[in-house]
Structure formats: structure tokens, C-alpha cells
Amino acid sequence: MAKRLVNNVKLGTFVLGGLLFLVLLLYMIGRNSNLFGKTYVLKARFENIQGVVAGNNVRFSGIHAGTVQKVKILSDTVIEVTMIIETKMKSIIRKTALVSIGTDGLVGNKVVNIVPSHEPGEFAVAGDILPVKKAIATDDMLQTLYKTNNDVAVIAADLKTTVQRINNSSALWGLLNDDAIPRELRTAVANIRSATGKAGNMVNNLDAIVTDVKNGKGSIGALLTDTAFAKNLNEAVLKIRSVGEEADALAVEINKMVAGIQQDVNTGKGPVNALLKDSTMVIKLNTSLENIQKGTDNFNQNMEALKHNILFRGYFRKQEKQKAKNN
């Protein structure tokens, strides 16, 4: 009886152990843990893991690479995710690879995605912390979509109002139905095309002028490029400056002369003062001029009388004939 009891206990213990092992095996399989393959550990730190839990898949460029081992809170802003990665990925995943959190489908489980970076780097080893890429949360997407829907609704309402105003505008429809507008538009386009062509020709001509100037052609080109011309111009400037200096010196001498004449006039020296200030001298001069005028008149009268004199008449007639012959 006692032996049978011992056997029952052993059998119960064996069955219970087998059940526990089976449960553990199913749990590990459910977590996609690599029970029989070689693995190594990589880590990533996020501000928000968006519902990632132990057992979620880890993918590299869409290929299954491992599972999430555990999630640990380091601080109020840092959460560390430990990932079990298959050993065959050691020669693929680099330290510069970016880790992000995604979703398996639209409403599926969370997935940790590892994508390669375009920057060169060494291969990641066990215990390395990979840089993370901030993922867009579903709540943020919904909030953005909600705002976008509101904006679209406002735009649609404004567009509806605009269309109604356009439909009710007789002036606009009259403008659209005017057959003369297309012809005027074609004419305007032709004018613009013509103006553009003329502007192009003008630019080409201006470019040719600039090229000629650079090559030293024409007066401006010679002025800018001919060193001999520049030398002559400098010499001319120097001569003009010299003439100006001589003119200044001459002006000084003239001023001195004028000052001397002015002094002579003011001090009563010389004939100029006598002519300008001596009234007696002026009277004498007037009298002399009157006497000269009278003497001239008397001389003319005497000469006229001689012309009619018998003794001198022949001489004067001979003079008149000679004068007429010369003319």
C-alpha cells in the first residue's frame, strides 16, 4: 500500500513537472523567444514606447531579427527597450542604425523596426545602445487629421460661398462671354512677345558694345584701355592746372594794378584823377573840343570855296575824274 502511494506521488510529480515545462515552452514560443538559437542583446532608449511590451517582434528592414526581451523605465523621460537579436545579424546591423516603433498593420501589435543609416559605422556588438528615430504616434495622427478635417470644412464652406458669388455675378459672366477678350488677349500676348524680342536684341547690342569697350574699340574703349591716351589726358590736366595757376597770378597782378589806379584816383595823382575829379580840367577839355569842332567846320568851308575857285577848279575836277576811274 505504501509502495503504491509512493508511485502515485512520483507519477503526479512527473505529470505536474511535464505540465509546467509545457506551459513554459508554450509561453516562450508565444513570445517568439529564440530557445535554441544563438542571440545577442541590443538596446534602445525612447521617450514614449507607445505600448511596446516584452515579446513584440524586432525587424530589420522588414525582416524578422529578434524579439523584445524587456522594457525598463530609467527616468520619467527615458524608457529602455532591451532586444534579443539573432547572431546572424551581427554582420548586418551597425551602430548607426536607427530604431523606431511601428505597428504590424493598421491595428496590429507594436513592432520595433531597425533601419540602416546612410552614415558609415562599425557593426553593433552586444550591449550597444542604438540611436532612435521618433515615430509619429497614432494620437498625434488623429489630432492632426481632426485639425485637417476642420480646415477642409472651412475651406469647403468658403469655396461654396465663392462659387455662389461667381454664379450670381452677371458682370463676371458677361466678361467671360465677351468674344472680344480672347482677341485682345492674343494681341497683348503678341505685343509682349514683340517687346521681349526687342529687349533681347537690345541686350545683345549692349553686350556687343560692352565687348567692344573691353577690346579697346571706340572712344570709350580707348579711354579705358589705351595707356597712351591716359598719359596724354594726364598731361593735358597738368597743363590746364598750370594755366590756371598762371591765370591766378595774372589776376593778382591785375588786382594790384587796379588797386594802384584806384589809389591814384583817390589821392589826386595823375591825369585820370584830373579827368574824373577836376571840374576846371573838364571845362577846358570841353572848350578845346568845341574850338576843334569849329575849326574843322571852317576848314571844310574853306575847302569847298577852293573847289569853286577858278585857280583850283581844274585840280579838283581832275581828282574827281581819277576817283571815278578807280571805282
* 237-285 pLDDT, tens digit each: 788 888 778 888 888 888 877 777 677 666 655 565 665 666 676 677 7
Cell numbers given for 114: 531597425
pLDDT at 325 exceeding the cut of 70: yes
Tell me the mean pLDDT in the region 171-183.
Answer: 72
pLDDT at 68 exceeding the cut of 90: yes
| Cα distances (Å, whole numbers) of residue 114 to 63, 84, 181 | 9, 13, 62
Tell me what percent of the residues of the chain surpass a pLDDT of 70. Answer: 77
Q: Is the dihedral of CA 245, 249, 251, 255 positive or negative?
A: positive
pLDDT at 301 exceeding the cut of 70: yes
pLDDT at 298 exceeding the cut of 90: no
Q: What is the pLDDT of residue 79?
A: 93
9 touches 37 (CB < 8 A)? no
Q: How confident is the model at residue 137 (pLDDT cuts 50, 70, 90)?
A: low
Tell me what percent of the residues of the chain surpass a pLDDT of 90. Answer: 19
3-class SS shares of the chain: helix, strand, coil, % to 5: 65, 15, 20
Least confident segment among 4-18, 121-135, 301-315: 301-315
Q: What is the pLDDT of residue 267?
A: 65
Q: What is the pLDDT of residue 312?
A: 67
Tell me the mean pLDDT in the region 53-57.
Answer: 90
- CB under 8 Å to 125, separation ≥6 — which residues? 40, 90
Q: How confident is the model at residue 74 (pLDDT cuts 50, 70, 90)?
A: very high
H/E segment holding residue 33: none
Q: What is the pLDDT of residue 113?
A: 93
Tell me the mean pLDDT in the region 211-226.
Answer: 67
Burial 260-274 (b: 16+ CB within 10 A, else e): eeeeebeeeeeeebe
Q: Which long-range contacts (CB under 8 A, 24 or more apart) does 104-107 make?
A: 104/57
Q: How confident is the model at residue 80 (pLDDT cuts 50, 70, 90)?
A: very high
Among candidates 113, 3, 115, which has minimal Cα distance to 50? Answer: 113
